[in-house]
Structure 1
Amino acid sequence: MNNSKSKLLAFLCLALLLVNTTCNEDDLPINEVCDYNVVINQMLYNEIDNENSLTIQEAILNDNCLELLVSASGCDGESWEFALVDSGDIAESSPIQRFLKLNFTNNEACLAVITRVVSFDISDLQMPNENEVLLNIEDLSESFLYQY
């Protein structure tokens, strides 16, 4: 019986060692998933009025993800809701331009200033026969060239 316990223990140790060495973090594919998808809706775009309740501090394009560093008052920012809304209008310039607003809902009644990163998949903003689009985001001083 003692011999069978030793064999079982050796087998379990070998199995754990095998499981531990079969998957290296560096071997895993990077799955870049954005928090939200962009919404293309002119009626919603026209209705958005955040009344300066949100500050966009920085915007970074990361492949098809637009990452926004945002700040607003709140408790922890966990209940915040976001939508990046495109007007559907396309300015025929070179490069073509699209117009966006960040819709923000904040029901938190705390006075702390919270900063967090939120990301949006903007691949739906790609235009046929084009390889770049200039993104104009309301309340952001710079436009961003989205190349795909």
Structure 2
Amino acid sequence: MKNLIFLALACVFVSCDSDDDNNEIITDPFDYNCDQEVVVSSDQFENATTSDFVFTDYSFTEGCLELSYSASGCDGSTWTVELIDSGAVMESAPPQRNIRMVLDNQELCQAVIRKETSFDISSLQVEGTDKVILHLENFEEDILYEY
């Protein structure tokens, strides 16, 4: 009788279907697929120069802050952007941070180009809270980042 129970249990374990192809291993919970990471530097925040541009929108997509912006240019293929945090956290409820986007645009065409760039801002999280207010320079409203 014991052999029969053992044999039945062995069959159950062997017949279990393991679908390993659909199991993703996430090694870093903040390993987002963003275009760039935010730079945290008080010197760069204060001293970086930017070309003219206008923000058109923002959204959060899969852990990334996606900024939409437009500027004059040929096609925008040579543009470089950085999102820079001042490094300071203003103590409030919720805490606040100052950030700015810097665009380097050397294109001398009159077309208006719209682009989107996503940034991994997980390094802007503040310990002890689940949200922070981002003051984005030249953006019409504050951005509430909840994590």
TM-score (normalizing by structure 2): 0.76
Deviation, structure 1 residue 49: 3.7
Matched-pair contact (CA < 8 Å) for 1:72–1:115: yes
Change (3 A) 1:122 1:139: same
- Partner in structure 2 of residue 47 of structure 1: 47
Q: CA deviation at 1:63?
A: 4.1
Contact 1:74 1:109 in 2 (8 A): yes
Higher helix share: 1
Q: Note the 1:1-148 alignment, pairs <5 A.
A: 33-50=33-50, 53-148=52-147
Q: Which runs of 5+ in 1 are unaligned?
A: 1-26
Do the aligned partners of 2:66 and 2:118 also contact (CA within 8 Å) in 1? Answer: yes
- The number of residues matched between the two structures is 120
- Residue 124 of structure 1 aligns to a residue whose secondary structure is helix
Closer, same or farther: CA 63–144 of 1 in aligned 2, 3 Å: farther
The question of whether the paired residues in 2 share the 8 Å contact of 1:48 and 1:101 is answered with: no
The one-letter code of the counterpart of 1:70 is Y
Identity, % of aligned pairs? 38
CA contact (8 A) 2:32 2:63 kept: no
Structure 2 spans left out of the alignment, 5+ residues: 1-21, 25-30
Ranges of 4+ aligned residues in structure 1 off by more than 6 Å: none
After TM superposition, give the deviation of residue 33 of structure 1 in Å.
1.1
Q: Check whether the contact 2:32–2:120 (CA below 8 A) recurs between aligned residues.
A: no
Code of the residue aligned with 2:138 in structure 1: it is D
